Each structure stands twice: as C-alpha cells, then as structure tokens.
Chains A and B, each alone.
Chain A
C-alpha cells in the first residue's frame, strides 16, 4: 500500500523539509506537476483496464512518478524468537533534469528503508538510504525486479526474490533473505488497477505476493543468525495517488496460516474519518481461485486500542478489528513500540510493525500493519 509518507520522510531525512510533508501531500495533488524544472514532464497515467503483464511488470516503470517494492514478514530465530522485518525500495521520477546530459541528472531517485522489529529490544532497528539513480551506484531494472542503492539490493531470482542489506550505517543490523513462492502475483483492485478515491485519477497499479517462504541470515549486533519465516511483497506504481483530502492511511497485509491472505487499507480524512476502503481477501490455499476484491461497503477497519509513544507523544491505534466480507479479524502488534521515530533526522514519525491476526479468539495469521499521518501536528491542527 501507500508508503508515500515514508517516501517524504526519506527525503526529509536529508534535512530537507521538515515541514514540507503536509504541504506536499496537498500540493502534489493539485496536478501532475513535477518540482523545479519538471513542470512540463508528463507522467504516465494509471488507467483502468490495462492488463498487468508478467514478467515485464515485475520490473520498474520509470515513466510513472512513484513506485515501490515492499517486503515485510515474520522471521523465526534459532532460539524460537519471532521478529519482524521490513525492506522497502522506492523509485521516484522527479520530473527534473529530463533533458540534462549530466550523468548526475536527478531524473530518478531511489530510496530504501530497512527495519527489524525485535520484541527483545522492544523497539525498531532501522536505517535508510537515498540516492539518485546514477553511475549504477543506485538504480533499477525494467522487466524484472531489481532495485538497489549501493550494496542494498532488492532483486528477483528464479521464482523468488533476494534482499540484501549487508550493512547499516546506524541500525546495528544486517540481513540477507531469500524469498520464494509458487503462486502467481495476487492482483489488487480491478486486475491490478487499485482505486484510491472516487475520482479514477487517484489510482495505482498494485499487486501483492503473499505467502513468501523466507530463508536467510539476520545479523544483530554483529551476530549472524540463520532464520526462516513467511513474508509479504507489494509492488505498486502510480503517478497521482492520493486525493488532496487524504491525511493518512492504515494498511495491513496478513498471511494466514491456512495459506490465505488479506490486504486491506483505508484512507483517512483530516478529521480522522474514513475516506476510502479497499482490500483483497484470498481464502484458504486455493492458488488465487477464491479471491474477493473488497470495496468500501465490504470492508471496515476499526481501531480497538491506542498506544501512546513516550518519545513523541503520538497516539497510534495499534490494535484493530478488520471486517472483510463475512470474516472478522482482530489485529494485535508483536509489541507496541514499533514506531519509526526519525524525528532527529527526518522530522517524521509513523508506525510500521509486525502484527498477529486472530479470528474468533484464535491466531490465524501474521503480517504487518502500517499507520501513517498520526503525527501530533495533524491531530492538533
């Protein structure tokens, strides 16, 4: 789902625009205009009816404004401890320097974020990178998933993926994970066309790869540990995603123990009220045969418990009830403090963490939950 706030935060992490976030999320919607010199750049539009074609659509779509590959999941350490992990790679077409012959022309930026949610630590380890796609120091490939910044790599291999975060400058962690799934991509929305608002302009191409089997190594504080687990991959690209009235969103992706999967999100208005709901529910291990595309009336996300961060004072609804068609799930976090606080560097804060899903009091799956736009500024404002 949309990690736009994160993207903004990443830019912000370079000390660029502490206060630009709210500004931008509104300004960027006024029209499909790039920044700086990019006013004349035409970003490719997201239109209904275009069929996603694989393997082409695994790769990058540099004509669109934003794109991300996002993988989250649960890992089991040798001692039985469960931890969460997250890797996100963004590609941003800036609309700047499109005709600049300089090799440094900032036409495309790559951003990446990596995090480990370790309940023994009680908070996230995380690190982030940003670079312009230049000199192969950072870049992306068309036709297959392959995006990288320096030695951080997100890559498609065979019938799976490979994510390599061999060092983090600040996070004190590293990981190398291999993902595999026999399933075809799970198309969200209408054949991969995922509407975000009544206005069809606000939409993305969006598919998920749930139930990814994970094997690899996680290094924590210098100790390399073999891990196995289950993960979820999203790939989404768009040019004009959010309606201007959207202030934040709540998203979740759950792998059910029976092989099913749920993706659900809602956009919130400034007053906190819901603006748009959408989701995808795959029942059982039916190889994408029992799929329900959920729209506003089929889906509700309701907060059931709030947690207040002692660092930021922000209150996040960390526990939820999700009604997806006929089924109802309760989401509970692996631990409460999965706030991503990078205010020191970014001025931006959100919550992104591992959650368990329960159905009728029984744990039926595990996944990730993302809560954005809960910054106090917006709440007070």
Chain B
C-alpha cells in the first residue's frame, strides 16, 4: 500500500506548494539561525581556547593581576616557593604597527623560564642570525600568520606604537609553536619592559607546580605570597570566563532562533490543519477501504516530518553558510566584541548539526500532531457524509488555560536568574505567547462583535464569519500574533536600548574634545609631561584625565574595570540610577559602581568595601550605582585624585577637553595633536564617538533586525497560506454566494476584510503580547543577562505604521490567495457537493 499512498500524502505537500514553501522557509530560518549562532560561537570559542592552551602550554597555574599588571617583585617570591617547580614571568602589551590597523599582542618573555612551561612562547631566530638575537632589545619574533599579515619578512623593520612614541624593531625570526596565531609576537621581557614603558611591571606569571604537590596546595601557597588584587588561577578558568562572557548574548540569540523555529512549527500546524480539513473525504475514503487509524496518523505526521526534514537539512546548510559569512564579516563575536581580533575557522560539528536538523524534524512533527490526531479520530462514515469544515482545531480556543499561562508568565518574571541565565524571563515570554495565542479566538470573536452592524454586505459577511467560526481566521491570526509579538518586543527593546545608550553617551561625553594615546594599545599612556603639555595648550579650557585599570576581585569572575576620572561628590557627571544617603565621614573614599557590580558582587550603595589598588586593599565606600552599557563584567568609577593618592600612578589614558571660550574645536585639536609625535595622539569629537558607538550598537543588533524581518515575513506568509488553504476549502461557499448574486469583486472584498479582520485581531493581540514581552526583555532578560537597566521607549509611530501595513498586506494576501477559488464556476462549485 505504501507506494500507492506516498503520492496521496507526501504528494499533497507538492500540490499545495505555496503553503508548503512557507512552512519550509520558517523551519529553515529557525534551524539556520540556531545553527549559525552555534557554529560561530563554537568556532570563536575553540579558537580562543586554542589560543589559551597554546600559550598556557604546560602551566598548571597562572598568576594574573589588573590590566596594567603588577609589580615584578612578585616573581622571585613565587619562583622561590618549594611548591613551584618553574615560574615564567610575562609582560604583555597590545600594540599596533604604525600605519596599520591590525592589533599585535607582544608577549615579553624570559625565554629561559618559558622553555619549560610554555613552549609556544619560544622564538626562533631566522637562519643565519645570531643565536643571542632572541634576547635583542630591538628584535621581534612574529608568528607566520602575523608575518604574512604584516608583510614583514625576517630582517625587515617595523615601527610599533608605544604610548606616544614609536619603537623601531627588526623582525628576528618566527614562533614555530604558534605559527597560526596572527596576533602573536614575542620579544624579550626586558626589551618590552623598557621599550613599552613597562619597567617593573608584569602582566602574568605562568607556573608549573612541583611534582607530587597537588594543584590546590600549590595554588594556596602561591596565593599566599601574592599582593591583594593579584590572583592565581588555572588556565582553564580563562576559557570558562570567555565562554561565560558571551553566554548571555549567545543564549539570547539562540532563544530568537527557537522562536523562529516555533513560528515554523506553527506554520506547519496551520497549513496542516487546513489541509486536513480539505482532505477529510479523502481520508474517510482511505479509512473505509481499510487504512488503519494509526497508519493514517503516521502518514499525516510524516507530512510534517518531511517538511521538518527538508527544512532541517537546508537550515543546517544555510546556518553554516550564514556562519561563514558572519565570521568573514564580523569575526567570531557576531559583532558583539567579545572575541575581537580572533580569526576563527568554521568547523563542522556533527553533533550540533544533527541536533539542529532533528529540531527541524521535531518542529514539523509537532506542527502536524494536532491536525493529524484530529483527522485520525473522525469516524469515516461521518466524514464521508459531511462536507463542512466546522471542526477545525483550535476552535474557540482555551481561554482558561490562556489566562493561567498569562498568570504563570507574570510570576515567572520574578524568578532569579538560573546559572546567570534569565530562565524566568524566557519562561515568561513563552507563557505570554502561549497565553496570547490561546486567548486569541475569544478576543477575535469579541472584536468582531464590537464592529458596527451597519456595514456593506461583504463586510457583514466577513464579520459574521469571524464571529461565528473564529477557528479558521484564528489560525492565520495566531501566526500573525506570534510574529508581531516577537517583532514588537524586539522593536521596543532595541528602541529603548538605543535611546538609553544615546542618552548615556551624551551624559558621559560632555566635553568638546577627547584625546587618547592609541585605540587598542595597552602600553599607551599620557605621561605627566604630556598631560601638562595638553593642559597648557592654548584654547584648552579645562581638561580632565582618565586612567583605566582593572580589578581582579575574585577568580570566578573576569576582571572588572576601574575608571579613575575627576568626579563630583554627588557623582553628577554619571548616569546615576541609585545613590547612598550622604556620608558624614568625609574621609571615606567614594566609589560609584555599575549595575553589573551590584549584581555580580552584591555590593550595595552605602556599603564599605575594599578595592585592590596597586597591590593594596584600599577601603572605599559605595556612593552610588551608575548605568554602564560598555562593561558587562562590571565597572567602578573613582575620583582621579583619590586614585592617584591610593596608587601613586600618575599616568592617564584619555583626556576630555572643554574648550576655552572663543576657540574652535578643530584648531585646538590640531594644537593638542602637535604636543606629541605625529599620529600618536588620537583626537575624537564626542559626536564622532557617539556615532561610532551607535554604529557598533546597530551592528550588534543587525542580526535581530534580520530576524524581525524574517518573523514578519513568516507571519504574513502565514496569513496568505492560511487563506489559500481556507479559500480552497470554501469553494462551495463562494459558489453558493455567487448563486445568490454576490459579485466576484464583492467576494474579493469580503475576503480582503476577512483577511484584515483576522490579521487585525492578530496584530492587536501581537501588539499587546509584544509590548508585554518587550517589558520582560527590558526588565528581566537584559537585567539578568547583561546587568543593565534601560528606560522604556516605545516607538509608537513605527509600530502604528507597521501594524497598518501588516493589516493591509494581510488583506491583500487573503484576496490573492482566494482568487483561485473565486475563479471557479459558481455552479460547478456548488454541484460538487451532490
């Protein structure tokens, strides 16, 4: 029987090409997005881990400190411990070759110490050069990849940016064990310390524990000799931290993919539901000639599975293609900046591919489940007799279940994050969507009842239909609701976010000019002399310097940023969201923590805490909480004067300049630039910085815009697909109407209004659910995953236009889809039933 039945069932998919195509597209998109996010992330993370592992080599432990490193006297203390077999000091600087954009990470190593621990960090002099040249102060050793990228063969000279100076080095050879790391360069530790102004500083010590000493014992022994703010960790921790850093972003994207997949599943459902209705007599006949109920069920599920399978396979392929394109365009961080600079390679991961392919199939089967059961349970005799389509699933919905879901969703918003993930938020969104869909029939009927009665014939017909048989339209409307809800939620969230970021940038960038010594270079600072020169440049009114450091507060968390800049006692320069009551003790050093600090470390306004500054624990008081969109791992602001007193560090990274009255920004910028070697000081206008920041923001959300568009297209496709199926099922009805004297254009008009009504119900429901979902995204998902708050900003105009266009498109779609049915001769259509 199978060969006979194959065309009956699977063949039906090809007969309704349009609906099948839409379902397929939705599944493909869902699978592809999920696959792409997964593939990109796997590639980026494995590249990152590979980097960590090659560099870590055989190190059991590594000692790390704040961004600007720690004092080198830590090294002999650690190396002398009996628990330590070998210790390798490293001073790392990130710099650039003058005139090139590519960042170069220079590891200053003591090759003799590194040899036994981190073989990847060993340089090899090029053939014929002096053996001791690896120690040369002007020698740099490049990985093969970096050499190719910089076009710098052995023996060639490079000019490296070092603060406001340039350092001339000669390429002395390569790094055999790290040939593919395009960012890595090696110099002698003493050369880096001197040339990059890092004297007495180290950024890392790699440690190999003595044989027979447990890692825990060694770790405790090492930690005991470290100054505060310098910690010892296992190399794996860095990998974990990297994975954690991007996890929230990744999970959020994967959630979007899941939504797309859900939409696809729903489209399969709506198409199958209507198709099953249309084929009732067909099934009844098959049942009558001996097809068992189970076989029928399996065949109908097979239809869904077939769509899911094709969608899954195409989706996985498309996902890899998208991932490849994303890696080429944005690198490994999907534009979010977590893995900036890595050049990951796309890897085929069989398990993930299989998982996503299977998800596609499951989506298809899930969509087909209800209609299939419905069709299989109808007694053949009744189905053969009755030609009506009254018993479409969904019917009048399940308003009570819907209400319960909504209630559960609201409660879920108050759940704390689970493993740093906003699980409650996602649950709330799922509940809101589910509840919305289940309440939609009631809502649609109510909406139809509310419409005025004195309408044209087609309008009355459309209204009556929606009122009486909401089931049909609701299937189309539910698709619209889902996609509108997703789009609206994203639109509200992104608009609020963008608006808040814009306001935040305005508040943080009040000056007229910003000066910094290099964009990516770590060794680049403005020394006291340069600071003085900038301050005394004619046209410079006031200047405030900023120093960037970082804090290692615990081995579990990535370092938090420490920003020292001139601040008022009340922190009025900051976007403060919460402040402590005024402090009576004037000696308490105030700090302002970002919202992430509050979430990650549990610090509260008014609390007294200790900050590890320059190797000492400085007692400070949390004066308030400010909003920070730049540093997800936490940031602490401290007054520059306090920082300098605590750290004795007079350097600065940036300067914010307010112009003296009567001076033009361009003139002053030119004069400030002239205070240092040409090209070393970068001067930016706040407008530029804002524009760049927003451009980065938009790029980060590019993928979500894409998804919104896809969701809307899927929703519209759903309307068209539903009406195409519906119209086919309603040929008899149209024939009857024509018999009664209704013109074709009136039928078209009726269909248009039905489409608009159905879509309208979906759009209105979608706006409501989307608004609520947007709030959940802002207040729960963002708060919990990224630790930042934002002000609600609803883009009313865009949403109104969007809703209107969607309804109009739905109406058009309904007419276009129904045309085939209308074209039938009226008599023929009526006679078919007899």
Contacts and interface: CB of A to CB of B under 8 A. Distances in A.
Given A16-B111, A97-B135, A130-B112, A104 B130 contact: no
Interface stretch (B119-127, B715-723, B743-751): B119-127
Nearest to B72: A103
A89 to B, nearest CB: 15
A104 B89 contact: yes
A36 B188 CA distance: 11
Interface residues of A, number: 39
A314 B2 CA distance: 78
A364 interface: no
Interface stretch (B191-199, B284-292, B386-394, B768-776): B191-199
Contact of A8 (B79, B125, B131, B200): B131
B199 A131 contact: no
Residue from B124, B125, B132, B137 with most neighbouring chain A CB atoms (10 Å): B132
A101 interface: yes
Interface in B104-148: 110-113, 115-116, 119, 122, 124-125, 127-128, 130-139
A15 B122 contact: yes
Interface in A1-54: 8, 11-17, 19-20, 23-24, 27, 34-38
Given A36-B132, A104-B189, A136 B194 contact: no
A102 B122 CA distance: 20
B190 A16 contact: no
B788 interface: no
Contacts of A27: 130
A20 B125 contact: yes
B191 to A, nearest CB: 7
B199 A102 contact: yes
Please report whether the interface of chain B is mostly helix, strand, loop or mixed according to DSSP.
Answer: mixed
Contacts of B189: 102, 104
B76 A137 contact: yes
Interface in A102-160: 102-106, 109, 130-132, 134-137, 150
A349 B125 CA distance: 21
B75 interface: yes
A150 B84 CA distance: 11
Given A14-B115, A101-B194, A102-B190, A36 B135 contact: yes
A321 B200 CA distance: 56
Nearest to A101: B199
Contacts of A81: none
B553 to A, nearest CB: 28
Residue from B72, B86, B191 with most neighbouring chain A CB atoms (10 Å): B191
Please report whether the interface of chain A is mostly helix, strand, loop or mixed according to DSSP.
Answer: loop
B89 A35 contact: no
A11 B194 contact: no
Residue from B127, B133, B200 with most neighbouring chain A CB atoms (10 Å): B133
B799 interface: no
Interface residues of B, number: 39
A17 B135 CA distance: 13
B115 to A, nearest CB: 4
A350 B629 CA distance: 63
A310 interface: no
Nearest to A129: B112
B372 to A, nearest CB: 67
B97 interface: no
Interface in B522-544: none
Nearest to B137: A37
A132 B109 CA distance: 12
B85 interface: yes
Residue from A13, A16, A134, A137 with most neighbouring chain B CB atoms (10 Å): A16
Given A37-B138, A104-B89, A135-B76, A17 B112 contact: no
A94 B135 contact: yes
Contact of A97 (B80, B89, B190): B190
Contacts of A104: 72, 89, 110, 188-190, 193
A100 interface: yes
A53 B189 CA distance: 37
Nearest to B89: A104
B131 A35 contact: yes
A24 B119 CA distance: 24
Contact of A35 (B76, B80, B128, B132): B132
Given A36-B137, A135-B75, A169-B85, A96 B131 contact: no
Contacts of B128: 23
Contacts of B111: 14, 16
A35 B130 contact: yes
B124 A11 contact: no
Interface string B332-361: 000000000000000000000000000000
Contacts of B72: 103-104, 135
Interface in A67-116: 94-97, 100-106, 109
A36 B139 contact: yes
Nearest to A131: B112
Contacts of B73: 135
Contacts of B85: 169
A109 B115 CA distance: 15
Nearest to A136: B76
Contact of A100 (B112, B113, B194): B194
A41 to B, nearest CB: 12
A106 B188 contact: yes
A150 B89 contact: no
A233 to B, nearest CB: 26
A102 B89 CA distance: 13
Contacts of B116: 169
A132 B199 CA distance: 17
Nearest to A35: B132
B135 A100 contact: no
A27 B128 CA distance: 10
Residue from B75, B110, B137, B200 with most neighbouring chain A CB atoms (10 Å): B137
A7 to B, nearest CB: 10
A136 B80 CA distance: 10
B546 to A, nearest CB: 28
A131 B135 contact: no
Contact of B112 (A34, A101, A132, A135): A132
A96 B136 contact: yes
B137 A96 contact: yes
A24 B131 contact: yes
Nearest to A95: B132
B110 A132 contact: yes
A354 B86 CA distance: 31
A310 to B, nearest CB: 28
Contacts of A130: 112, 115
Interface string B194-227: 1000011000000000000000000000000000
Contact of A36 (B89, B127, B136): B136
A14 B114 CA distance: 9
Given A16-B124, A36-B139, A136-B76, A103 B200 contact: yes
B130 A102 contact: no
Interface string A326-358: 000000000000000000000000000000000
Nearest to A149: B112
A19 B79 contact: no
Contact of B131 (A17, A102, A132): A17
A150 B89 CA distance: 15
A311 B199 CA distance: 46
Nearest to B125: A17
Contacts of B110: 104, 131-132, 134
Nearest to A13: B115
Residue from B80, B112, B194 with most neighbouring chain A CB atoms (10 Å): B112
The 6 A-B pairs at the shortest CB distance, nearest first, are namely A36-B136, A35-B132, A102-B190, A35-B130, A104-B190, A135-B76
12 contacts: A14-B122, A16-B122, A16-B124, A23-B131, A35-B132, A35-B136, A97-B194, A100-B190, A104-B193, A134-B110, A135-B79, A136-B76
Given A37-B137, A105-B194, 11 more contacts: A16-B124, A19-B127, A20-B131, A35-B135, A35-B136, A97-B137, A104-B193, A130-B112, A132-B110, A135-B79, A137-B75
